[in-house]
Amino acid sequence: MPWPGLDTCRLAPELAQSMKKTSCVMWKSSGTYGVKLEAFWDCGFGNISGEWTRFDVDGTDDPNRDWRGLMIPHYPSKQRNFELLVDGASTKFSCAPNGIKLGDYGHFMDSENFCCEGNLLADLKSVSLKADITPREHIISEWNGHQGEGGVVSTHDDPVGFIEFCKPLGLSLPSNDDFKSLLVSFSTRLTNRYLITRVIQCPPDPRRSGSGTLYNIAKPFVWHRNAGVGLVVGGAVR
């Protein structure tokens, strides 16, 4: 059972061949704690062996989220990362490839380049679903909360030094029930895909080194699958 102060994690052991996978995710919402457990096994399994691994899940402290809105963040190791404040909270961003947009989904190639397969916001419009998934706007500032003259925000970048972003516009996907239901409805078609959940857009400016787009990417927890197993939703395996 979860308890106060417990880090949110997903645990996945390397199990004996006759037992497939077990995972557990725990989160906090409105002062309460929840747990979701998935277990898939053969009744004749033997002893469990191997080591447990863990990774963090974003969204566990957001009172507007339940397990449908949990995200597994991903930071490509071969891309430059920047740290800025989003509405006063420190957030790490990656440098986006050209043309990347909020709501894009896809997979990573062996080179760790993101391959876009579609856009969640565009898909919603194409099927004419009446759902409110209006992107949210955010205030972007430096680590000390400062925004320079002309809306310039800077952040440290090794080995270059400081990178300046002019008039950054922060946008993110919502966390309302419409959006969470949409994630669940796409979970079968978009198994193990990654989703662009937040972007910082900067207008082109040849005088600034930080023109372009920064992004956050994550795998929605409801899109994650272990090899050879399904997802338990409402007591049923899908």
Q: Which two tokens stand for residue 19?
A: 């037992």
Residue 81 falls inside a structural domain: yes
Q: What is the pLDDT of residue 190?
A: 94
Q: List the alpha helices (DSSP H) in 169-223.
A: 177-185
Q: What is the pLDDT of residue 207?
A: 63
Task: Provide the residue range defining the domain that includes 167.
Answer: 19-237
Residue 158 falls inside a structural domain: yes
Q: What is the pLDDT of residue 189?
A: 92
Residue 10 falls inside a structural domain: no
Question: What is the count of structural domains for the chain?
Answer: 1
Q: What is the pLDDT of residue 47?
A: 46
Say which amino acid occupies 33: Y
Q: Which residues of 62-83 are buried (b: 16+ CB within 10 A; e: fewer)?
A: eeebbbbbbbbbbebeebeebe
Following CA atoms 145, 150, 156, 159 in sequence, which dihedral angle do they give, to the nearest 10 degrees?
180
Residue 152 falls inside a structural domain: yes
Residue 11 falls inside a structural domain: no
CA 190 centroid distance within chain: 14
Residue 47 falls inside a structural domain: yes
Residue 4 falls inside a structural domain: no
pTM of the model: 0.70
Per-residue pLDDT tens, the chain, 238 aa: give them. 333 333 444 444 444 444 444 455 555 555 555 555 554 444 444 444 444 445 556 655 555 556 677 888 888 877 778 888 898 888 888 887 778 899 999 999 888 889 999 999 888 777 656 778 889 999 998 876 666 677 888 876 655 667 788 888 999 998 888 888 888 889 899 999 999 999 998 877 666 555 568 899 999 988 987 654 444 443 333 4
Kindly report the backbone phi and psi dihedral angles of residue 156, in degrees, each rounded to the nearest multiple of 5, phi listed first.
-75, 140
Residue 111 falls inside a structural domain: yes
